[in-house]
Amino acid sequence: MHRWRELKRGLKLLIPLIALAAMTWWWVSYTSIPLEERLANMVMKLKEAIEKKQYGEVMRCISPQYKDSAGVTYEDIKNALQDYVRNPDLHVKVEVAAMTIYSRSNTAVIDTRIGVMITIGERSYSISPVNLTIFMQRELIRWRIIAVEGWQRIESELPTEEIAY
């Protein structure tokens, strides 16, 4: 019985140490990846989330402080994304052709060139390659997008007929 108590006491100490070791391993492996590579991976995961209509994954990348030069805000993106996700006939495919990343301690700018294919029902629309500038900011433990410039050209190439949501 006495040995059982010693074993339990040892386990109580061992479990937090294992958790601490796991967290330390995660932190070291995470921070050993260069920031530029982590941001590039985030952009690629965002691209996949948009294509797969993963609302939560996309919104996790957008800062609540998002506002671009066209006046688009976080709420506008949230509403447009909800409409996109709910429409079974609307699909978006994004091709990222190039990416250049400039970063400082808590901010980053990503210049990228993308191609966009939009499918509405049976019709597909290919948008000419567009240069985007993505502005990011570190918020607590996550990097988030605070503005995107250049997307307005995509909007200008969209079909003009009404799309039913």
pLDDT digits (tens, 9 = 90+) for 129-144: 888 999 999 998 789 9
Residue 127 predicted with pLDDT over 70: yes
**What is d(CA 116, CA 44) in angstroms, rounded to the nearest whole number?**
14
Residue 93 predicted with pLDDT over 60: yes
CA end-to-end span of the chain = 68
Residue 6 predicted with pLDDT over 80: no
Asked if residue 133 lies in contact with residue 126, where contact means CB atoms within 8 angstroms, the answer is: no
Asked if residue 68 lies in contact with residue 149, where contact means CB atoms within 8 angstroms, the answer is: yes
**What is d(CA 24, CA 56) in angstroms, rounded to the nearest whole number?**
28
The more confident residue out of 27 and 83 is: 83
Query: How many Cα neighbours within 13 Å face the side chain of 141?
Result: 3
Helix (H, G, I), strand (E, B) or coil at 79: helix
The more confident residue out of 63 and 158 is: 63
Which of 132, 123, 133, 131 is closest to 158 using CA atoms? 123
Integer-rounded Cα radius of gyration of the chain: 22
Tokens at 8, concatenated: 């339990």
**Whole-model pTM?**
0.75
